[in-house]
Structure 1
Amino acid sequence: MKGAMQTINTVLGPIDAAGLGTVLAHEHVFILNEDYRLNFLPDWDEEGEIARAVTRLRELKELGVDSLLDVSVAGLGRNVERVRRVAEQTDLNILATTGYFTYNDLPLQLHYTGPGLGFDVPEPMVASFVRDLTVGIGNTGIKAAALMCAIEAEGLTPGVERIMRSVGRAGVETGAPIIVHTNPHTQSGRVAQRVLAEEGVDLRRVMLAHCGDTGDLDYLRALADAGSVLGMDRFGVDVLLPHEVRVATVRALAEEGYADRMILSQSAYSYSDWFDEAAKAQFAPDWNYRCVVEKVVPQLLAEGIDRSLIDTMLVQVPRRLLTRTLGAEQATPLSDNSGLDPEKEA
């Protein structure tokens, strides 16, 4: 792939990878389960919420952000046609993701179907994820740009493991990057690295989300030394970890040479059926799309972090992660925690 123009899929079609610009690599547009919406949200305003998302993302573009990776997959109410309507009214690149999000069980549609189950067939999730990446999601023609799964405090349950291994296999087959929602307090990032490495995934193609929820530098160094990108991606959620600790952690790691294995983001959203807006305004008033640009970056610069390192975390690392590398690299052994030579990275 070196030497040729490399493209990345957005909800409006492929773009040159160089056009990604400044990227928020872990965000959401809508978190809205359709079953829940149809039955329990009688006041949902489709047009109003689309207009609200358009306004917020236009503001984000005006602040200098060029692209946003929407990690809302199945299980979080993914609706790429709704997101496409938003993208059509902004100049921001919005990238879709495939995978499945759960802390525990698989949906009942997959409970009895799969290897060794009542309907003993090859794992159907692998084919579904590959189709989303190569053909398109449903009948929309929109191709996903990345894969996503989760491992929370519940650990590697049978359902979580099945999804994670399916995501890993789809990643190996397509060269797509993988984002894993993790819980740093249970160090579930270590488990994710082990399982994905067992499936042949190059750990440099993996972003471990929510690493910014801890200030445990030893844990974060170990994940980065194995090659993965650290998602410092919940800025604004001070209720989980104070803002100053989050910034200090990024600063410390950047000063140690880990800026090339970090991204900055917020895991924010325009609408979520998980949280009441009034409640969010109380417990996390800075949790929005603008926190990184308006608060985090100025603070890091004021504290002596070079602008080039900011660009590394917001431009270079996301572009490297999102550019497919099928067949270009060998899997990074999990046991090798000696770090990677940046000069040798693709």
Structure 2
Amino acid sequence: MSAVETVHGPVEVDRLGPTLMHEHIFLLNPEYMQNYGRGSWWDEDARVDDAITRLRSLAGKGIKTIVDPTVLGLGRDIPRIQRVAAAVPELNIVVATGIYTYHDVPFVYYMRGPGLLIDADGVDPMVTDFVRDLTEGIADTGVTAALLKCAVQEDMSPGVARICRAVARAHRETGAPITTHTNAGKQLGRPTIELFRTEGVDLTKVVIGHSGDTVDLDYLLEIADSGAILGMDRFGFPDPNLTTRVNTVAALCRRGYADRIVLSHDAACFSDWLGPDALEINAHLLPDLRHDYIPTVVLPALREAGVSETDITAMLVDNPHRYFTPASA
């Protein structure tokens, strides 16, 4: 039986249970937090305790695993996640490696790599770092990443393309699956898939994230027909609203595509993207963006829309399990 790496250690894929495939625990800018948050709005213990409370509640509603694709650019801090995980042993937390940026590569890679100022061995150092996270573990934490992450939000800029290629090459070297942030309104799943295809990626191991932000069924069917998985993973966001998101998933299920859909929220226990008062602002602007929205609200709505229990199980259980099962298995 194949196993997937989690913060708790390896877990057999058939024990992952109902899985939310795109969630965050913390989204932070460490430089900003360290320089402006400590001693004012950032209280480490309070934030960790709050995350523990939220995730215990989620586990109590039947979710057994969350995939947290918080990578470089989003404030990945594995020791902080380990503190949370240790207090919620009933929930598997799967973490990722990769880079999240909309335009340029981080400066630490800007002058290093093939054809750049420092090109020691012709290998992109991003690939080396990603592979290490996937095979040896992340820093000295003892936690190993189980998937790769990249983002295509504005366009396939040279920096974004380089990161996507590095992700593709680490995937080829390790077999690790890939998840993406894409802008569905701009239909950026298309160039993402094309780049991965030219790099020899197994598209059945790719989630095209945030696909549920569009109602264009022709686009969604095209993505699914490539073999990739549709990330219907922003339940709780208001645009499109709940009814529209549910109806889109139901329409895809009626067409026989439940085996290429995963569900999630893209929520965070705390995100500083809206500043120090993020929790209060989120509660006002995004009251439904919470980790338990799918088990408490979305699943009943899907059933009401005619989605069968078999299809719900496929989206929450079977598809994540297959995604994390190595192709060789």
Q: Normalising to structure 2: TM-score of the pair?
A: 0.96
Summarize the alignment of residues 1-346 of structure 1 with structure 2, pairs less than 5 Å apart: 5-42=1-38, 43=40, 44-90=42-88, 91-121=90-120, 122-153=123-154, 155-238=155-238, 240-275=239-274, 276-325=278-327, 328=328
Distance 2:272 2:114 in 1: 33
Distance 1:281 1:52 in 2: 15
Q: Deviations over 1:54-81 (max 9, x none)?
A: 0000000100000000010011000011
Distance 1:231 1:304 in 2: 20
**DSSP-derived class of the 1:26 partner:** coil
Letter in structure 1 aligned against 2:141: T
Please report how far the alpha carbon of residue 303 of structure 1 lies from its aligned counterpart in structure 2 after TM superposition. 2.2
Q: Deviations over 1:138-169 (max 9, x none)?
A: 1112100110000002x011110110000000
Distance 1:278 1:81 in 2: 26
**DSSP-derived class of the 1:57 partner:** helix
Letter in structure 1 aligned against 2:158: P
Distance 2:307 2:325 in 1: 26
Letter in structure 2 aligned against 1:23: T
Letter in structure 2 aligned against 1:11: V
More divergent stretch after superposition (299-308 vs 199-208): 299-308
List, as ranges, runs of 4+ consecutive aligned residues in structure 1 with deviation greater than 2 Å.
none
Please report how far the alpha carbon of residue 128 of structure 1 lies from its aligned counterpart in structure 2 after TM superposition. 0.5
Q: Is the 8 A contact 2:246 2:305 kept in 1?
A: no
For structure 2, the residue ranges without an aligned partner over 5 or more in a row are none
For the aligned residues, what is the CA RMSD? 1.0
Letter in structure 2 aligned against 1:32: L
Distance 1:303 1:181 in 2: 27
More divergent stretch after superposition (141-150 vs 272-281): 272-281
Q: Is the 8 A contact 2:247 2:305 kept in 1?
A: no
Letter in structure 2 aligned against 1:69: V
For structure 1, the residue ranges without an aligned partner over 5 or more in a row are 329-345
Letter in structure 1 aligned against 2:215: G
Distance 1:176 1:318 in 2: 13
Distance 2:84 2:308 in 1: 34
**DSSP-derived class of the 2:87 partner:** coil
Q: Normalising to structure 1: TM-score of the pair?
A: 0.91
Match of 1:342? none
Distance 1:125 1:163 in 2: 8
Q: Is the 8 A contact 1:33 1:78 kept in 2?
A: no
Letter in structure 2 aligned against 1:144: A
More divergent stretch after superposition (170-179 vs 274-283): 274-283
Please report how far the alpha carbon of residue 264 of structure 1 lies from its aligned counterpart in structure 2 after TM superposition. 0.8
Distance 2:326 2:98 in 1: 17
Q: Is the 8 A contact 2:179 2:209 kept in 1?
A: yes
Letter in structure 2 aligned against 1:213: D
Distance 2:140 2:305 in 1: 49
Q: Is the 8 A contact 1:99 1:129 kept in 2?
A: yes
Please report how far the alpha carbon of residue 324 of structure 1 lies from its aligned counterpart in structure 2 after TM superposition. 2.3
Letter in structure 1 aligned against 2:34: L
